[in-house]
A and B are shown apart, each in its own frame.
Chain A
Amino acid sequence: MKFSEQLEARYSDMLTHYPVKRSLLVPFLLYTQDEFGYVTDDAIEELSRRLEITALEIRNVISYYSMLRTKPGGRYNVQVCTNICCLLRGGEEMLAHARKTLDVAVNKGVTADGVFSVEEVECIGACSWAPAMQVNYDFHENLTPEKIDRILDEYRLKAAQQ
């Protein structure tokens, strides 16, 4: 398989960071996921070949890190925090609202049009601005149900324009 030019450049740069090449694995897997939407079988095979470790070792690493996935999510992954600080300020209600609005019944479920997925996540480091969520890597804080609706509308519009 081929990586994009950008991903290839990232790979070559990161190789220079470490005395042992597999050290780039964790952050590079996330960059790979950003490119393909998830960590694909092909990407795992490719990295296994390049880093000279087995595909199993790579899968073993993937299963440990909660941001890495081996199945596609929505184009915009809505990650609502319900950990203690968000809980105290309505995190569960925000999650319920996002699920209901997007009609996603199960955790990590994807909408029928593939635009969104909704995931309940652990603390994202927005405790003083709770309740909070991330859509892909963007933080959205001090949420209310109305604010969530506005944010989702913006992403929906973005998806339609692409």
Chain B
Amino acid sequence: MANLVSHPDEVKVVTKRFGQGAANIDRYLELDGYKAVQKALELGADGIINEMKASSLRGRGGAGFPTGMKWSFVPKESAKPKYVLCNGDESEPGTCKDRLIFEHDPHSVIEGAMIAAIAVGSHDVYIYIRGEYRYLLEIMQKAIADAYAKGFCGKNIFGSGYDLNVYWHGGAGAYEVGEESALMESLEGKRGVPRIRPPFPAVVGLWGGPTVINNAETLASVPHILLMGGKQYAEIGVDRNGGTRLFSLSGHVERPGVYELPLGYSLRKAIYEVGGGIANGRALKAVVPGGSSVPCLKPDEIDISLDFDSMMKAGTFLGSGGIVVLDDQTCIVKFALRTIQFYRHESCGWCIPCREGTDWLSKSLKRFHAGGGVAKDIDNIRYLAENMLGRTFCPLGDAAAMPIIGFVNKFRKEFEAHLDGKPCPYEKHPALSQLAVVR
């Protein structure tokens, strides 16, 4: 079980019930549980969506799409059933926040998904949890069963005449399934190969029906928004970036952990105050601020507001909120190599630029790190990565290319330091530098 941490700068909204036994439904009810869904039934679809728009809640999975707007895209009338799908396939390296939500407050995800369903006129909710999180799937299975036992799910919920079913679903190990169209394929019992868009899931989704797909943290935020009011939630954050986020701090910080900070919080403070600074008294070399898929920032770029728009202006992304901190003893080439090896492993092979690109990048970086690199390799690595951008069905190709481009652009000198058979300057264990040279 993952440890909980806290810091005075945290604003606890989603994490409010953590550590209080809220996985138990009676405890959850004592802590204002299932009040928001009843309020949602009174508000009706338009009322809920207006609150969501006022909250300026944006998707916590990484893309940051405004949630209220996403819900408003679902057609009111549909010949096919509509669905709500909770994305709990959390697998972006550097991200471990949904895990805590499922462990400490599973009912908030159920309740948020139910509210989403009422907002779009859906009667079926699926909560998809990655296969590795078996203990969390079991917590969720019990939570759903308890909610049915209390009559909160199923027929005529809270005497409203509205029927609403909630189902669990589990994965079996696949990063790509975290992408929305691949997630639907997986739920339909297939390989998690992405679908082309349009049509978007809001129009043609699960089994052909209109489907809303939201990250678990997004849905867990929803009941709190309805209870406190959209406007008040928005005020916690900054302009067009309402509320808080769960930031997963990892790597070379003194106090790694998952912290709930208001959007607009300073990245520097997140690292040096909340995270306690760089471990072992070392200096900062780089930070990957939004999960492994985003370009890194250098130490002179961290005086920045943690919100979707500021991060984009700085050439990176807020992404999944996974802040990975690298100290000055870290080899960027090695880090880039491990990053691309991950994407190579996870690429489904459907789109050639991603399948070939991740493989070539992986081979080039492995050879390069082992001392087999020549000067033109550096530009070739960047060129290869740049040619993957925007050329694939799903964003996995972009996610693989963007960090590599960032590393080459920002740490070219480190790449040069590996040229002409020189051993890696950071290798603690010389034996590892003797990797077979792949040509």
Contacts and interface: CB of A to CB of B under 8 A. Distances in A.
A138 to B, nearest CB: 8
Nearest to B190: A61
B154 interface: no
B191 A64 contact: yes
B288 A84 contact: yes
Contact of A84 (B130, B132, B256, B335): B335
Contact of B172 (A26, A82, A85): A26
Given A64-B191, A88-B330, A129 B174 contact: no
Interface residues of A, number: 42
Interface stretch (B7-15, B61-69, B339-347): B339-347
A17 B90 contact: no
Contacts of A126: 2, 96
A128 B248 contact: yes
B250 A134 contact: no
B96 A20 contact: no
Nearest to B91: A123
Interface string A144-158: 000000000000000
B257 interface: yes
A65 B135 contact: no
A134 B292 CA distance: 21
Given A85-B250, A122-B345, A128-B249, A24 B93 contact: no
B252 A88 contact: yes
Interface in A18-74: 18-20, 22-27, 29-30, 51, 60-61, 64-68
A66 B173 contact: yes
Given A17-B167, A17-B169, A27-B171, A124 B256 contact: no
B326 interface: yes
A83 to B, nearest CB: 5
B170 A23 contact: no
Interface string A82-96: 111101110010000
Contacts of A114: none
Contacts of A19: 81, 207
Nearest to A127: B250
Contact of B189 (A22, A66, A128): A22
A130 interface: yes
Given A17-B167, A125-B90, A24 B335 contact: no
Contacts of B174: 64-66
Contacts of A66: 172-174, 345
B96 A128 contact: yes
Interface in B39-96: 81, 90-96
A85 B253 CA distance: 11
A75 B252 CA distance: 34
Interface string A2-29: 0000000000000001111011111101
B96 A122 contact: no
Contact of B173 (A17, A22, A25, A67): A67
B173 A68 contact: yes
Given A84-B335, A141-B2, A20 B207 contact: yes
A85 to B, nearest CB: 4
A125 B132 contact: yes
Interface string B284-323: 0000100010000000000000000000000000000010
B241 interface: no
B214 interface: no
Contacts of B330: 88
A30 B172 contact: yes
A87 B248 CA distance: 16
Contacts of B187: 23, 26
B243 interface: no
B173 to A, nearest CB: 3
Nearest to A137: B134
Nearest to A66: B173
B99 interface: yes
B324 A67 contact: no
A130 B252 CA distance: 10
Contacts of A129: 2-3, 96, 256
B338 A82 contact: yes
Nearest to A30: B172
The 5 closest A-B pairs by CB, nearest first: A67-B173, A25-B189, A27-B170, A65-B172, A66-B173
17 contacts: A17-B126, A30-B131, A61-B189, A64-B174, A64-B191, A64-B348, A65-B131, A65-B172, A67-B173, A68-B173, A84-B342, A85-B324, A92-B432, A122-B93, A122-B346, A128-B257, A139-B135
